[in-house]
Structure 1
Amino acid sequence: MSKPVLRADARRNRARVLAAAEEAFAADGLAVPLDDIARLAGVGAGTVYRHFPSKEALFQAVVLERLEQFAAEARELADAENPGEAFFDYFTRVIKQASLNRAICEALGETSGSAYKADAGSEFRTNLAALLERAQSVGAVRKDIDGEDLRALIVGALAVERYSPDSRHLVRVLVDGLRCV
């Protein structure tokens, strides 16, 4: 069953709500009230509820949009000339970008929630694992790490970035630990 096509104004309102929600969730995670998101988007609360039946549905939409962007970026890097450099640059960039967004940190930290297990989360994990395997195949990354280990390392690095932002060198230590010596 296909989704109904939205009118142009409804698409614009939905996009405004998603942008406002991303900003609000980035700062406050799920604690932000929907009324605040509606106000930030310049729409009424009813408009938010028409597009998203609950705050959790809106949160999931925001997270999935970001995970889709991460997945697409990893897919574009799949044939990079230097797989090791592509992997480490991407890994570091995901940590840096995600650390600025509490919602993404929460979603990547989930092990059983719907946001992480959704198609976009699965595609992100698959594409990240493909980058890892390609970097391992050229001897750039140690071979005793798999995709799930990498996800756990990302979650740990996000915690470091969010809770000790002046300790940026710790992510470099993590990256150095992934390199083959």
Structure 2
Amino acid sequence: MSEPARRRPMRADARRNYERIVAAAQEVFASDGVGASLEEIARRAEVGSATLHRHFPSRRSLLEAVFQDRVEALCSRSREHAERSSPGDALLAWLRDLNSYAATSRGLAASLLHDSRDADLLQQNDGCRAAITAAAGELLHRAQQAGTVRPGVCAEDLLALVNAISLVTEHHDDDAQANRLLDIAIDGIRLPR
């Protein structure tokens, strides 16, 4: 979509189509890689190919939207946890969300690295990385102020732990090991009672 078109508000039906396309693309790219059929994405979104291309003139523009959409949802979850839970519980719940995000994103990230045409999306997504780091930092600060998390822990440590868990468990079909490893890491950042 061109920059002027992005600034204009979308009609309700166009917005629904956009959201369905991004949701379908998340699923298809995660399962089939970045080279997945755009026609399959359009079919799953229940839109025509022309509608997909009107919103996303290139595969790259669709990939950018998928990354941005997922990161925005993850950051939104951090705010929801902060509003509904104690500081320590909010951080731990969001780390579980981040762990799930990492698990479902690793196939997409791996296929981007494999298909070097769009691999720079991972490096260029500094805004996404900054948003995730800020969300982690806010939750961590609240938890440390409440005395539930060790004072020496920083947001980058938490992100590195979740990333490491994702890398170690990437070839497992279930999330049980990733969840167990996250629980062990969580026990390590908590202050003793």
TM-score norm. by structure 1 comes to 0.79
Instruction: Tell me which residue corresponds to 1:114.
Output: 124
**8 A Cα contact 1:26 1:100, kept in partner:** yes
- Displacement after TM superposition at 1:26 (Å): 2.6
Q: 1:74 aligns with which of 71, 75, 78?
A: 78
**8 A Cα contact 1:96 1:161, kept in partner:** no
**8 A Cα contact 1:18 1:62, kept in partner:** yes
Does residue 94 of structure 1 match 2:98?
yes
**8 A Cα contact 2:64 2:121, kept in partner:** no
Q: 2:158 aligns with which of 125, 146, 150?
A: 150
Instruction: Tell me which residue corresponds to 1:179.
Output: 190
Aligned residue for 1:12, secondary structure, equals helix
**Measured at CA, do residues 39 and 31 of structure 1 come closer, stay the same or move farther in structure 2, by a change above 3 Å?**
same
- Displacement after TM superposition at 1:29 (Å): 3.6
Q: 1:163 aligns with which of 162, 168, 171?
A: 171
User: Following the alignment from structure 1 to structure 2, what is the Cα–Cα distance between the partners of residues 55 and 175?
Assistant: 38
User: Following the alignment from structure 1 to structure 2, what is the Cα–Cα distance between the partners of residues 14 and 163?
Assistant: 32
Aligned residue for 1:163, secondary structure, equals coil
- Displacement after TM superposition at 1:100 (Å): 3.3
Q: Alignment length, in residue pairs?
A: 177
**8 A Cα contact 2:137 2:155, kept in partner:** yes
Q: 2:137 aligns with which of 129, 133, 137?
A: 129
Structure 1 alignment gaps of length 5 or more: none
User: Following the alignment from structure 2 to structure 1, what is the Cα–Cα distance between the partners of residues 17 and 83?
Assistant: 37
- Displacement after TM superposition at 1:76 (Å): 3.1
Q: 1:45 aligns with which of 32, 49, 64?
A: 49
- Displacement after TM superposition at 1:112 (Å): 5.6
- Displacement after TM superposition at 1:98 (Å): 4.0
- Displacement after TM superposition at 1:60 (Å): 1.7
TM-score norm. by structure 2 comes to 0.75
Percent identity for Structure 1 against Structure 2 = 34
**Measured at CA, do residues 8 and 155 of structure 1 come closer, stay the same or move farther in structure 2, by a change above 3 Å?**
same
Q: Which amino acid aligns with 1:45?
A: S
Q: Which amino acid aligns with 1:24?
A: V
What is the CA RMSD across the aligned residues, in angstroms? 2.9
**8 A Cα contact 2:109 2:122, kept in partner:** no
**Measured at CA, do residues 62 and 97 of structure 1 come closer, stay the same or move farther in structure 2, by a change above 3 Å?**
same
**Measured at CA, do residues 80 and 17 of structure 1 come closer, stay the same or move farther in structure 2, by a change above 3 Å?**
closer
User: Following the alignment from structure 2 to structure 1, what is the Cα–Cα distance between the partners of residues 61 and 157?
Assistant: 28
User: Following the alignment from structure 1 to structure 2, what is the Cα–Cα distance between the partners of residues 111 and 176?
Assistant: 34
